Amino acid sequence: MDYTKLKNTELFLFDMDGTLYLGDNVYEGAIELMEDLPRLGKKYIYLTNNSSRAGEDYITRLKKLGFPCERENVFTSGMATGMYLNQRHPGASVYLAGTKAFYRELVSYGIRLVNDELGHTDADTVDVVVQGFDTELVYEKLDRACHYLRRGSVFIAANPDWVCPMPAGEVLPDCGSICALLTAASSVRPNYIGKPNRNMIDVISEMTGIPNEKICAVGDRIYTDIAVAQNAGSVSVLVMSGETDEKILAEAERKPDYVLRDVHELHEILKTL
Ligand SMILES: [Mg+2]
């Protein structure tokens, strides 16, 4: 196998669920890999489509699980959504259907939210509706979002994932599934910000000064983790420790650059380069 692309990689983007851990179960060798990357001359960012938690929450969570993590090591679809709103819709009024953590994240980006943390608002129209992976969803938020979308609001969603994987084969309905409900009710389709939108890697390339082709995305899901790398002209590593099995891989139109058992195998390869 030719590992030149891994050798040339300067920055690794790691998916978390199904790649480094599942729930609270850290995969064997995952922490050792992260701790060893600086010695191997590689930078890393934990990259997640999970918009139910804020960047700060991830730093706390990763440290608690035993992973090295500073502020510059985390990038979420929620953070990308805040940056996108400031770039493309500066000063716009926004209705957020999301968690309190996502709410605080958007406040930290200076976004003009018309609702409070729980989704309450008196506004009759808004410029933009933002939908997140809302684990605190209540009917009022769906009602408000649908009301605004039917009156011409722009529809932006933090991430397209249908489900969020949980231990023991369970899943949680994720942002993509909530958006499907809103689209059915309003006939408006969202613009998704998170992976596989290449914007996720373009922004990181801008922030770090590292060109896309020297960035490698590592993840367990083809339609987000691998697709974002392919869309951005970056390198991709699929790990078979999460939701992808041989059948899904065989049916994938575009194959990853590398398919590995898990991140432990990635570590073993990097040590030989
Ligand atoms: Mg994953």
CATH of the domain at 152: 3.40.50.1000
Task: List CB-based neighbours of ion ligand 1 within 5 Å.
Answer: 15, 17-18, 220-221
246-271: average pLDDT? 97
The model's confidence at residue 126, banded by pLDDT at 50, 70 and 90, is very high
Distance 172 CA to ligand 1 centre (A): 13
In sequence order, what E strands does 139-180 have? 154-157, 163-165, 171-173
d(CA 131, CA 143): 13
- Between the CA of 220 and the centroid of ligand 1 the distance, in Å, is 5
Mean pLDDT for the chain overall: 96
Is 73 part of any domain? Answer: no
Domain stop point among 141, 174, 192 = 192
Do 15 and 221 meet the contact criterion of CB atoms below 8 Å apart?
yes
In this structure, are 152 and 205 located in the same domain? Answer: no
Per DSSP, the residues of 53-70 read: S-HHHHHHHHHHHT----
The rounded Å distance from CA 224 to ligand 1 centre is 9
Instruction: Tell me, yes or no, whether 61 lies in a domain.
Output: no
pTM of the model: 0.91
Number of domains, the chain? 2
Which residue, of 168, 192, 216, is where some domain finishes? 192
Write down the residue that tokens 């309905």 correspond to.
Answer: 173
User: Tell me, what's the pLDDT at 175?
Assistant: 98
CA 40 to centroid of ligand 1, rounded, Å: 24
- Ligand 1 centroid–CA 202 distance in Å is 20
- Mean of the pLDDT values across residues 62-88? 96
CA of 148 from ligand 1 middle (Å) equals 32
- Residue 272 has what pLDDT? 97
The answer to the question of residue 214 being in a domain is yes
Range of the domain at 231: 4-49+195-272
Asked if the model's pLDDT at residue 167 lies above 90, the reply is no
